[in-house]
Structure 1
Amino acid sequence: MSIRLTQYAHGGGCACKIPPGELEQIVSGLTGPSPTGGAAPPVANAELLVGLDGGDDAAVVRITGGTALVATADFFTPVVDDAYDWGRIAAANALSDVYAMGGTPVVAVNLLGWPRDVLPMELAAEVLRGGLEVARAAGCHVAGGHSVDDPEPKYGMAVTGVADPARLMRNDAGRPGLPLTLTKPLGIGVLNSRHKRTGEVFPQAVAAMTELNRDASAAALAAGATCATDVTGFGLLGHLHKLARASGVTARVDAAAVPYLEDARKALADGFVSGGSRRNLDWVRPHADLGTLHEDELLLLADAQTSGGLLIAGEVPGYPIIGELLPAQEGRTLTIR
């Protein structure tokens, strides 16, 4: 009998993230002065360029020699039943944070939680094999990692990359007049929800989740982009809200221009919406003019993605434009038409 990994976890993929509003409350006190008084101690030969303040995709530190180090970690519960594919997806998702900053991944370490008395260790080996193959395709070393005995299976990577500190893509660098480019279609969340509940396999979703954001990042840098983020668990609307808020602008989305994976609308119509997607929409609703769009359309725009594409402030050849950045409108980071 085949083992369905998604049945061993309460959530799946980036939809199992802590809700964005709760997460912001947790970290809200971590960006100011030390609780014991005074500033953080200086670090020799290192300067923090990107930290917690803007809620960006990764931390960036400038070191000697004109190099910036990009550091991130990402892991989640199974998003598909196939162990090898889950490993590939989780690795591509972890690497994406480095690409979103305009960096190149250099080395990764595995993060594995496994219910060793419940699931065969051979499946864990398949997860790690999938992660290794995607990292190799990205030209990124994998050097060990850490594992724990866990009631739920979890897998991901901590990744370190390098970037040019003068050519970073940050989520606080947007400015009015820039178009918004999206490099992967939406709909991964509803298709993954259907897969978890029915066992149906959607190759188009697996292909999208395992596609590296390397080429999209390189194209964005070549086009001169300085502002980007990736679209993952907080959905397009959630990540765009964070980008617009950090940049001090309002983002307008043309809903008709947003691309979706095949069968995504059918999965939505059949009720396969994760709780994470609903929480995403609830989070952005007070900050948005949602126009006259039907609730179902809004849920697709807020759909919790796993290993989604890049959202770039700027025109990038070969990828669709889905909106633009506008001057800030009081009390509103998003407007949908």
Structure 2
Amino acid sequence: MVFRRQTRRPRQSPDRPLRSRRDGDPGPPRGHTETSDGPERGTGLSFRGERSRGRCLRGVGPGCRPEHSRRALLDRSGRPVRAHRAGRRGSRRPQRGGSAGVSRLSRQCRRPLDHPPSRVPVTSIGADIAQAAGVTGLLALTTTLFLLVLSPPLAWWIARTASKWRPPVEALVALPLVLPPTVIGFYLLLAMAPDGPLGAIALAVAGAPLAFTFAGLVIGSIVYSLPFVTGPLASAFRTMDTHLLEAASSLGVGPAARFLRLVLPMHRKALVAAGVLGFAHTVGEFGIVLMIGGNIPGETRVLSIALFDRVEMLDYAGAHAIAALLLVFSLVVLTFTYRWLRQGVPG
């Protein structure tokens, strides 16, 4: 079998016609190219070997001059040519299925990634749980304190009033029990927008919006956990003996003093149970927190959102850790609360 060496025809110059080797012209020598200004050696525009091409592009190969370095390459219009363009211009086109195409593909595969896996910031599960647990605990504690201040007067009014507004107010308070959290979160998000009623007040008073902030998250949690605190208190207030209230009223004690000095001390168990229910329900919130909070780490990202993120990332080990923490916390809190309520509170 006879192997023939493939030769490359010289590129036609715009100044002179193309001549073949059969007319006596031996053709351009190896490493020689022709431009509009005439032939030059070592410009790096027609090297066939990868090694010689790389050396000449760096200006260190045989026959290369400093003006033939990587920055001094010019095309026919006088503009600088990049190194990879100059190397491809004079190189032989690889045959389909040949080794040149495979080598080029291998070189592309060996290029470094724009974002190496080792440089991608990865948050550990311990730090993620600690950060989300801190936000969750602060949110639940703040919401519970506000609920223990707002819910007792509202529950007392619902339990003792005969007004015609009692049914709609009671239905409005219990609305989060039947509505999906996303519905409440959507309307709260509209109200907290800069052009909404709550958002406009916040911008006028504090100069900051409410949406996607911790303050907005507290407002949403108060609305969503309100029936879990108001309901038990209203039920306890309905069963209260009215003789003590009548006796205090006959002694000249005002309504506010009767409520603070007589009603609340007599319903300590109901207050504790309502506070525990509100705290536990705030810890397990998901829909409203996702709609209003925006999942901001360190500010509005709670444990339920962190659990959802771990499941989406297929990190089931982290999801198990967060879910187990929430499960154990709920069981421990409810167990101690029921035991304390069964033992009774003196006084």
The TM-score bracket by the shorter chain reads: under 0.3
TM-score, length basis structure 1: 0.22
Q: Which one has the bigger strand percentage?
A: 1
Flag the structure with more relative contact order, 1 or 2, with Cα contacts below 8 A and sequence separation at least 6: 1
Q: Which one has the bigger helix percentage?
A: 2
* Larger radius of gyration between Structure 1 and Structure 2: 2
TM-score, length basis structure 2: 0.22
